[in-house]
Amino acid sequence: MKTPMKVGFGILAVVILLVLAGTFYTLQEGQQAVIVQFGRPVGVPVTEAGLHVKLPFVQEVRRFEKRLLIWDGDPNQIPTKGREFIWVDTTARWRIADAKKFLENVATEAGARSRLDDIIDSVVRDQVSASELVELVRSASWVVPEGEILEEVPAEVREELKKQVSRGREELTRTILTEARKVIPQYGIELVDVRIKRLNYVESVREKVYARMISERKRIAARFRSEGEGRSAEILGTMEKELRQIRSVAYRRTQEIRGKADAEATRVYGDAYNRSPEFYAFSRTLEAYKEGQNKNSILILTTDSDYYRYLKDSTGRIPGPGRTAR
């Protein structure tokens, strides 16, 4: 008798545990839940974290995020009002505002992102097609720069920059958000904001833009190079003028010093001649032979030459080896 009773109590305990496990459930912070009974949502969404109760076996819990979620759209090629084709890449932040309505209409986050793709991309296409390119890249409060910065910009771009913008990029994104919010709430979704992440020309237009930018930069570089060459020529001309002036002054000063030196030398030679004509003649003869000879020269003297005469000593004999003239 005891064994069947133990088995019965064990089965009862297991059943009680299963009932309790199917009755209680918990929600983490940042989560919300919808109770589903026989495949249909019942009651109101549960948004508070903690321990909650449901009917066991017949009800199940579908959990959803309560925090902000990110939507990133695929880049789309869209023509502007001026027929410039550009790539537009957008992003948005959204949250599940009504979990029950969300479950009934899109069921999952993947389904919600698919609906956001259709809605936001459609609104972005409509707004971009109705706007000029300058309105997509500028804000309405942007001030056009003045001075040298504006002068370096190509003429056609300069005129584009000076245009008055009725609505800028911020106003455009606000309009996209407003139009998208008119449709999205029926899916239990709250769209927090929409941003244009990136704008770019299509490949064919981008190549033309790059070519124009390169051409314009080359033109600016040629202008700076021409101005630099002109300035260089001016500096070189001034330098040559000053150099010629310096050389002229130096040459005049050199001639003045040389003239004074020659006059002084003439005076010295004159004084020497007046004091001793014989010594003067001897000194000049030695200087003449010294200036006209080198180490490879061979000197041939005649007996009646002045140099030969000066080599004789006072007795009329020529100095031999080991002897010096007196």
**Domain covering 69-201, topology:** Tetrahydropterin Synthase; Chain A (3.30.479)
- Express as a percent the part of the chain with pLDDT over 90: 31
d(CA 74, CA 244): 73
What is the model's pLDDT at position 266? 80
d(CA 52, CA 306): 142
How many CA atoms lie within 13 Å of 324's alpha carbon, on the beta-carbon side? 1
Whether pLDDT at 311 is above 50: yes
What is the model's pLDDT at position 195? 92
Query: From the CB of residue 191, how many other CB atoms can be counted at a distance below 10 Å?
Result: 22
Tokens standing for 311? 């080599």
Residues 192, 94 contacting (CB under 8 angstroms): yes
Specify burial of residue 176 (Cβ count, 10 A radius: 0-12, 13-18, 19+): buried
> Do the strands 69-72 and 85-96 form a parallel or antiparallel pair, or are they unpaired?
antiparallel
The mean of the pLDDT values for the chain is: 80
Give the closest residue to 137 by CA, choosing from 177, 159, 167, 179: 167
Q: What digits encode the pLDDT tens for the residues 109-168?
A: 999 999 999 999 999 999 999 988 878 877 767 666 665 555 555 565 566 666 667 778
C-alpha Rg value of the chain to the nearest Å: 54
DSSP 3-state of 281: helix
- Torsion, CA 257, CA 263, CA 266, CA 272, rounded to 10: -90
DSSP 49: -
DSSP 28: -
Whether pLDDT at 22 is above 80: no
Domain with CATH 3.30.479.30 in the chain: 69-201
DSSP 304: T
d(CA 98, CA 190): 9
d(CA 44, CA 59): 14
DSSP 3-state of 43: strand
Is residue 325 very low, low, confident or very high in pLDDT (cuts 50, 70, 90)? very low
DSSP 3-state of 313: coil
Average pLDDT over residues 8-30: 70
What is the model's pLDDT at position 89? 93
